[in-house]
Structures are given as C-alpha cells and as structure tokens.
Amino acid sequence: MTSKEAYIVLNMLQEVGPVRVRRLLEQFGRPEKILEASRSELLRVDGIGEEVVRSITSWREQADLDAELKRIEQAGARVVTCDDADYPKNLRQIYDPPLVLYVKGELSERDAFSIALVGTRRASVYGQEMARKLAYQLARLGVPVISGLARGIDTQAHKGALQAKGRTVAIIGCGLDIVYPAENKKLAEEIVATGGAVVTEFPFGVPPDRQTFPMRNRIISGWSVGVVVVEANLTSGALITASLAAEQGRQVFAVPGRADSPLSRGTHKLIKDGAKLTEDLEDILGEFEYLLPKTESKPVSVALSLTESESKVLEVIGEEEVTLDEIIQRSHLTTACVSATLLALEMKHLVRQLPGKVFAKRSLN
C-alpha cells in the first residue's frame, strides 16, 4: 500500500480525523504504518482511545480502497494529500488541514493569493449583484475566487469569476459524485472546463449535511488569504466561515447592506466586531499588505523565491516606470498571467502600482 492509498483509507474512517492522524504520524512516521500498527501500539499514542483503535484495526471492514480508487479514476479526478507538493500552501497552516483533497480540475500556485466570497443562500438582488461584481473584479485582476457552490452568494461569486474569464475554485461539502444543489451541476462543469477546480475532502458517496458544511467552511477560509462575507443573517453559515477565518489568521471583510434588512444583520455584526467594511475592490486590495508577515526592517517575503513569471516581470520593469501594456509586450506573457504576477509582486512588496496602470519597483530601504 502506498502512502497516498493509506491517507485515502484513513480519511474514510469517520472516527479518526486529521488531528488524530497528525498525532499518529508523530509516532509512526508514515500513514501506511498507522494501518499496520497493533492495538497496543495505537493505544500508546496520546489522545487515541478504544473507538479510534477499533476503527483503524478493522479498516478493511469499513473502507473499500479498491472501489474508491476505481471511483476516483472513473470520475476523472485525482487525490492530493498533505504530502504532495501541490497541496494548497495556505491549508497547511491551519490547525486541522484535510488529510486528502479530491480534486476535479486543476490546482494552481496562484491559489495562495485567493480571496473567498461567501454569504447567504437566500440572497437579495443587491447581494447577488455585489457578489458577482466583486468576484468579477478580483478575477479580472488575476485573483482566484473561492466559494462553496451553494445557492445565492456562492453561485454568484463563481459566475462573476467565470464571466471575467478568471479562476474560481468550488469547495463542496459532499463527495465529488454529488452536486449540491443539483441545479449547479452545469456551473460545476464550467468551473472545471475553464481551468478551475471542484474540491472536497469527503469520499465518494458522502452526502451533504449539517456536519459536512462546517468542515467544508474551514477549507474555504483556510485556502484563502481573506474572506468576504457579502450578505448574511445572524444564523448564516457564512458567519461560521468568517469565525474560522479569524481563528486561522485570515483577514475578514464584510459588505454592508440595508439597516432594516435581516440579511444585513450578520455582515453588520462582523463589521462591529472588527471586519473590514467593504464597499468595493479597493477595500479588499488595501488590506493585502497586512496579510504578509514582516520583520523590523523589511518584509519577510523579499527573501522568498520568485516564480519564473515573477522574475521575468521584474526584469522587464527594471529601474523604470513601465505600463501594463509594455510589460505584457516585453515579457511575452498572457494578460492574465501578467496581472496575476503583478499582484503577487505587489503582495511581496517588490512592485508598486502608480496611477494609469503604471508599475515600478518598490524601494527596499
């Protein structure tokens, strides 16, 4: 059995979970060793009780690995584990990162700079328009838009990003073989067809319920650098996502609404509690510099390695002020790639944008 297969099995055992697996890995090193361990060896691990041990030692009775691997292949999907290089970087930072991600579509390094847009399923016309507008603007800039494929705000967020011909990722609270709500099946297919992805941590056949959605929400917030709540009442699951984002050290944004609307009470509460009041794209972009750690003298990000496109764009800019069109022409990169690269360089404090879509290197002194 490979490590990936072992992770798939452990993920199919409901009693185990990512936090317990992390403790077990500290003891056994590799996931396949966990499945090979004896009852007495497992019980010696702190926090591992009889119920968990029974689940692990009898895993063949609960998890049909061969059938699951066949379902993955037939769906045209793949599984990414926390050991894989393309596992989303931001997710590694949270307390309970998923053991595996079932992915239909493509993952991207750009996802490290993604923004999540979430909100109520019963969105007003105003809320839907704001979600679509913000998603469109972010995607046009090259920022991946993350959401949950639910009705209302989530749906409009995905559609706005697609309308801008940008990247969007749907994190779902069920198996890949289930599209919920059913009317979003075509939307999910379009997300994958345009270079985005539909992602879940749940095995095939797992239906959505009250437990899976909060688990899904921690991935939405953990995947992104910031979460925008567009419209939500006081009982909306979007507030759970915002709370998780705050716990994970992510920036929380909230779009204000009508003072007399129940759909505004959740977002207004977030604003009162410290979320960034968000009226337009500039309110989101203005917070990016606070999302990166700094040393006393200069940003830590200066020392980070650059991607090939980042190096090329920096070389084109040189020591002069250069327009966006000039960068695209000289770099021979696509417009979307240049926009995403410039955003990444701005977030790394290596480039600054001047009026008129003109860019220059930022002084590090």
- How much is the pLDDT for 351? 85
Distance, C-alpha 108 to centroid of its chain: 11
Q: In this model, does residue 363 exceed pLDDT 80?
A: no
* The residue type at 206: V
Which tens digits make up the pLDDT trace of 29-75? 999 999 999 999 999 998 899 999 999 999 999 999 999 999 999 99
Residue 5 banded pLDDT, cuts 50, 70, 90: very high
Average pLDDT over residues 260-266: 94
CB 134 within 8 A of CB 284: yes
Which tens digits make up the pLDDT trace of 200-214? 999 999 999 999 999
Which tens digits make up the pLDDT trace of 295-344? 333 333 333 457 788 889 988 998 888 999 999 999 999 888 888 888 77
Average pLDDT over residues 190-195: 97
Pairing of strands 78-81, 100-105: antiparallel
Q: Dump strand ranges (E) for the chain.
A: 78-81, 100-105, 115-118, 145-147, 168-171, 197-200, 226-229, 251-254, 276-277, 322-323, 351-354, 358-361
Which residues, other chains included, contact 118 with Cβ-Cβ below 8 Å and sequence gap of 6+?
147, 148, 153, 154, 157, 217, 220, 227, 228, 229, 230, 232, 237, 238, 241, 242
Domains along the sequence of the chain with CATH = 1-63 (1.10.150.20), 105-290 (3.40.50.450), 295-361 (1.10.10.10)
Quote the mean pLDDT of the chain: 90
Intra-chain end-to-end CA distance of the chain, in Å: 53
Q: In this model, does residue 220 exceed pLDDT 90?
A: yes
Residue 175 banded pLDDT, cuts 50, 70, 90: very high
The pair of three-digit structure tokens given for residue 50, joined into one six-digit string: 């009889």
- How much is the pLDDT for 233? 94
Task: In whole angstroms, give the CA distance from residue 205 to residue 62.
Answer: 14
- How much is the pLDDT for 47? 87
Which tens digits make up the pLDDT trace of 110-169? 899 999 999 999 999 999 999 999 999 999 888 999 999 999 999 999 999 999 999 999
Count of other CB atoms within 10 angstroms of residue 258: 11
Q: In this model, does residue 104 exceed pLDDT 70?
A: yes
The pair of three-digit structure tokens given for residue 82, joined into one six-digit string: 């926390």
